[in-house]
């Protein structure tokens, strides 16, 4: 198989999906597959935060009995799951640049980056929610511009606020590319659903590989370590 070099990547949606597709089959297919399966399983407990409860709890149970479950779901979603997701992004990033794709990377954030990951995730979540309240579109713009935060925290060891600022700077001019990749990702998942369970897993592998590839491609053009602070949401 052709040896692909991420240093030759051009930051584009098509190039990222093409590179990610070929690269995920090159050396690290099994660990990437297992990572997606593990994340799928671990995402289950967070469903407690998405229940729509009526007066009696929505399931015939008193609200008082469901309250601890909802609290657990919130704690799980904000204090545990983000660390695994950031580790997953680093795992895919390593695979895209031919470094060892070790499943233990999923849990690496618990060792030295835990508080930084939690803070970064909360900042990104808060900014996106503020944008959504402002008629949704600003929230979409913010989400696109902060797409690289997890990579910067895990790959560059940046603290939370610096990672947010750096992601904003790096994605300048690529907002539409990231948005287009997000839309394409939706249809890729739909395509995966058509071929049931295995297709969905491969779809998510491809999507994570593509976004890691885009980060690498933009990183090739961004070697300035001085992030530019967020000034507005109109630079997509």
Q: Is the pLDDT of residue 19 over 60?
A: yes
Share in percent of the chain as helix, strand, coil (round to 5): 70, 0, 30
Q: What is the mean pLDDT of the chain?
A: 87
Question: According to the model, what pLDDT value does residue 55 have?
Answer: 45
Assess whether pLDDT exceeds 60 at residue 97: yes
Of the ranges 50-54, 148-152, 227-231, the best mean pLDDT one:
148-152
Alpha carbon 145 to its chain centroid, in Å, reads 12
Residue 2 has pLDDT above 80, yes or no: no
Which of 17-21, 56-60, 194-198 is predicted least confidently?
A: 56-60
Q: What is the pLDDT of residue 52?
A: 44
Q: What whole-number distance in Å separates Cα of residue 94 and Cα of residue 100?
A: 6
**What is the C-alpha radius of gyration for the chain, rounded to an integer number of angstroms?**
18
Count how many residues are written for the chain. 236
Percent of the chain with pLDDT over 90: 71
Residue 67 burial (CB count, 10 A): 12
The span from the CA of 154 to the CA of 65, in Å, is 38
- Pick the more confident residue, 231 or 39: 39
**pLDDT interval class at 214 (50, 70, 90):** very high
What span, in angstroms and rounded, lies between the C-alpha atoms of 24 and 208? 10
Pairwise CA distance, residues 131 & 11, whole Å: 26
Select from 236, 210, 221 the least CA-distant residue to 144: 236
Query: What is the structure's pLDDT at 61?
Result: 52
The burial of 30, by beta-carbon neighbours within 10 Å (0-12 exposed, 13-18 middle, 19 or more buried), is given as exposed
Tokens of residue 21, six digits = 């597709």
Q: How far apart are CA 207 and CA 210, in angstroms?
A: 5
Distance of alpha carbon 210 from alpha carbon 22, whole angstroms: 10
pLDDT band at 130 (very low <50, low <70, confident <90, very high): very high
In this prediction, residues 179-200 reach a mean pLDDT of: 92
Q: Is the pTM above the cut of 0.75?
A: yes
């Amino acid at each position: 198989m052709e040896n692909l070099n991420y240093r030759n990547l051009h930051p584009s949606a098509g190039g990222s999906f093409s590179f990610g597709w070929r690269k995920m089959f090159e050396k690290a297919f099994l660990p990437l597959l297992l990572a997606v399966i593990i994340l799928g399983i671990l995402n289950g407990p967070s469903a407690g935060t998405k229940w729509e409860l009526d007066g009696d709890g929505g399931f015939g149970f008193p609200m008082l009995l469901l309250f601890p479950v909802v609290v657990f779901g919130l704690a799980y979603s904000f204090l545990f799951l983000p660390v695994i997701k950031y580790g997953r992004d680093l795992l895919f990033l390593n695979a895209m640049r031919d470094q060892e794709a070790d499943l233990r990377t999923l849990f690496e954030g618990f060792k030295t980056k835990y508080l930084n990951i939690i803070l970064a995730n909360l900042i990104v979540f808060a900014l996106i929610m503020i944008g959504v309240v402002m008629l949704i579109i600003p929230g979409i713009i913010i989400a696109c511009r902060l797409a690289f935060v997890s990579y910067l925290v895990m790959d560059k060891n940046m603290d939370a606020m610096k990672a947010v600022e750096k992601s904003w700077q790096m994605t300048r001019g690529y907002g539409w590319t990231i948005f287009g990749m997000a839309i394409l990702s939706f249809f890729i998942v739909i395509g995966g659903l058509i071929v049931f369970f295995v297709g969905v897993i491969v779809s998510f592998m491809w999507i994570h590989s593509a976004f890691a590839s885009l980060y690498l491609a933009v990183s090739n053009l961004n070697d300035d370590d001085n992030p530019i602070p967020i000034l507005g949401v109109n630079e997509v």
